[in-house]
């Protein structure tokens, strides 16, 4: 039996197995698993196969979606320093509340503290606030 190379194909396309993404010019959501490429809508199997062909031949491009944490997963964003009015990076547990969904919508959700710290100076400048790393 030969090896399943779908994990390597996904990696070459800069996505992970199970990671949802879109394809330029198409409104459907797609993902890879060990069985192949799948879309979020019911379509004929040959449509997903044709899209996989187009991806592999470089005829279409993947559009990555913003990362969204799973329930109770830690993410990093911005908060106010406890004793000053400076913005700082804080860690938070995800749950679907208004604040977290608003942070997600404006793109202030980060996988790591380093990503959030790299983004903070530009965000602080845009918002006109002081910050501390």
| DSSP E strands, the chain | 21-23, 26-33, 36-39, 62-64, 74-80, 87-93
Mean pLDDT of 24-37: 91
Q: Which pLDDT score is estimated for 40? A: 75
Would the pTM of this model clear 0.75, i.e. be above it? no
Confidence of residue 78 (pLDDT cuts 50, 70, 90): very high
Q: Which pLDDT score is estimated for 90? A: 96
For the cut 80, the answer to whether the pLDDT of residue 30 exceeds it is yes
Q: How far apart are CA 104 and CA 101, in angstroms?
A: 5
Helices then strands, counting H and E runs in the chain, come out as 4, 6
Mean pLDDT of 33-61: 86
Residue-wise pLDDT tens digits, 92-125: 999 999 999 999 999 999 999 999 999 999 999 9
Sign of CA dihedral 37, 40, 45, 47: negative
Q: How far apart are CA 42 and CA 15, in angstroms?
A: 22
Residue 60 near residue 43 (C-beta atoms within 8 A): no
């Amino acid at each position: 039996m030969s090896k399943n190379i779908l994990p390597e194909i996904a990696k070459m396309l800069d996505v992970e197995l199970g990671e949802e993404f879109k394809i330029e010019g198409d409104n459907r959501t797609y993902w890879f698993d060990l069985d192949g490429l799948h879309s979020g809508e019911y379509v004929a199997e040959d449509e997903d196969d044709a899209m996989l062909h187009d991806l592999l031949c470089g005829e279409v491009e993947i559009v990555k979606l913003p990362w969204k944490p799973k329930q109770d997963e830690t993410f990093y964003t911005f908060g106010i320093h406890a004793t000053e009015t400076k913005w700082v990076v804080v860690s938070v547990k995800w749950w679907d509340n208004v604040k977290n969904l608003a942070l997600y919508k404006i793109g202030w959700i980060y996988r790591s503290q380093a990503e959030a710290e790299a983004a903070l100076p530009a965000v602080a400048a845009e918002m006109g606030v002081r910050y501390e790393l």
